[in-house]
Amino acid sequence: MSEMKKAMKKSGNIGQLMIPLIAFGLLIVFNLIRDPSFFSIETKLNNTGNTVLAGNLISIINGASELAVLAIGMTLVTAACGGQDISVGAAAAIAGSVFVKIVRGAADVNGLTVILAFLACCVVAMIFGSFNGMLVSVFRIQPMIATLILYTCGRSIAYWINGGATPTISSPITSAIGSFIPGVPIPTPVIIVAVMVILFNLLFRFTTLRLYTQAVGINQSAARLNGINTTMIKLLSFILLGVCVSVAGCIGVCRLQLINHETLLLDIEMDTILAVAIGGNNLGGGKFRISGSILGAYVIQMLTTTLYAMKVSSTDVKAYKAIVIILLVVIGSPVVKRWFTKKMGNLRGAGLRRAGAKEGV
């Protein structure tokens, strides 16, 4: 029985990842036909004279770093609350503004200064996450409505933090965070994503957070009857999303070496939700898979890079992305999945009947 359960679990995990894997496969085949050199990776010297990896694949995994980090936190909120946080871009702008203000206010920018600045912006992002989480878990407001408040005013708050300016930061440390560490050919944001994945995997392995989050998302009343503090689980999911927001905000600021409250991670909210959906996670809550959301983020970035490589104008990219993403979401919808399962069952049944008829003959 235990072996059967393991097999069913493995089959379910594979099925959940089918949509992002199929999307990856289609994009790979398309680019191989269009331009085989699309996947070439080379080494070159960057502006600081360091040898680094370059190519479209490196650009994809590097460019999707903020989206992948946000998708991790968004997956938890979606699983626990059955809704999405649409304020992550605005909250990242607030976190980035706090980071820049502290770094600029330091007499000497060193490793300790950067760490303290990150911890400060992390605390601020967690406070705003707690505010959103309180509205959802305590006052039982729909997540998208509750987070609409911060979505509306968040960038104004980021604007006020730095006195309405768009200050720059100039430091080898912050530059390395946004680009490359000297002597390391892999972009630093990619390393940060890997660290975040490891930390969340350790969190799930050594705590009951995954189990409790899924239980609350599947049936909140049953979870409460089994002694799970559903309010705390929902609140915790928003707090952890706040951590992800602060990481994404710091990466975005360090890439540009400045904070622009109007453009930092602009419109990333919808891409984050789509990454969770493409990853095979149920937007109504319940069972989730972080790896699926991360794959969804890379699918979105690969699609964007492919469109730009085809010389599609920036104004048209969103329209083409919307068309492709609609197709992916429809293919992964429960209706299509049930239809496909039914058809496969009919085909297997027909095959068994033909085999039985031959044996009877």
Please report how the helices 88-105 and 268-278 are oriented relative to each other, as an axis angle in degrees rounded to 10. Answer: 120
- Residue 337 falls inside a structural domain: no
Residue 10 has what pLDDT? 45
How much is the pLDDT for 15? 62
Q: Is 200 helix (H, G, I), strand (E, B) or coil?
A: helix
Q: How many domains does the chain have?
A: 1
Render the burial of 177-192: b for 16+ CB within 10 Å, e for the rest.
Answer: bbbbbeeeeebbbbeb
36 in a domain, yes or no? no
Is the residue at 43 inside a domain?
no
User: Which pLDDT score, from 0 to 100, does residue 3 have?
Assistant: 42
Residue 167: which domain range? 54-311
What pLDDT is recorded for position 335? 82
Confidence at residue 360, expressed as pLDDT on a 0 to 100 scale: 60
Residue of 361, 124, 107, 96 lying closest to 254 (CA atoms): 96
Q: Give the CA distances from residue 324 to residues 190, 274, 318, in Å, rounded to whole numbers and listed in that order.
A: 25, 11, 10
The pLDDT assigned to 68 comes to 98
pLDDT at residue 196 in the model:
98
342 domain residue, yes or no:
no
pLDDT value for 118: 97
Cα(121)–Cα(91) distance, integer angstroms: 10
Q: Is there a domain that residue 357 lies in?
A: no
| Amino acid 273: pLDDT | 92
Cβ(294)–Cβ(284) below 8 Å? no
Q: How far apart are CA 342 and CA 354, in angstroms?
A: 18
> The pTM is what?
0.90
Whether the CA torsion 118, 122, 125, 127 is positive or negative: it is negative
CA–CA separation, 256 and 169 (whole Å): 9
The CATH number of residue 59's host domain is 1.10.3470
Residue 34 falls within a domain, yes or no?
no
Residue 81 lies in a domain: yes
C-alpha dihedral sign at 61, 246, 277, 270: negative
The 3 state secondary structure assigned to 77-93 is HHHHHCCCCCCHHHHHH
Contact by Cβ (8 Å): 224, 126: no
The answer to whether 20 and 299 have CB atoms below 8 angstroms apart is yes
294 in any annotated domain = yes
The residues near 291 (Cβ < 8 Å, ≥ 6 apart) are: 17, 279
The reported pLDDT for the residue numbered 5 is 39
Please report, in tens digits, the pLDDT of each residue of the chain (361 residues total). 344 334 334 444 556 788 888 888 989 999 999 998 999 999 998 887 889 999 999 999 999 999 999 999 999 999 999 999 999 999 999 999 999 999 998 888 899 999 999 999 999 999 999 999 999 999 999 999 999 999 999 999 999 998 877 898 989 999 999 999 999 999 999 999 999 999 999 999 999 999 999 999 999 999 999 999 999 999 999 999 999 999 999 999 999 999 998 999 998 999 999 999 888 898 889 999 999 999 999 999 999 999 998 998 888 888 888 887 788 777 767 787 788 778 878 888 777 777 777 666 5
> 313: buried, middle or exposed (CB in 10 Å: 19+, 13-18, 0-12)?
exposed
d(CA 254, CA 38): 27
Sign of CA dihedral 68, 69, 74, 79: positive
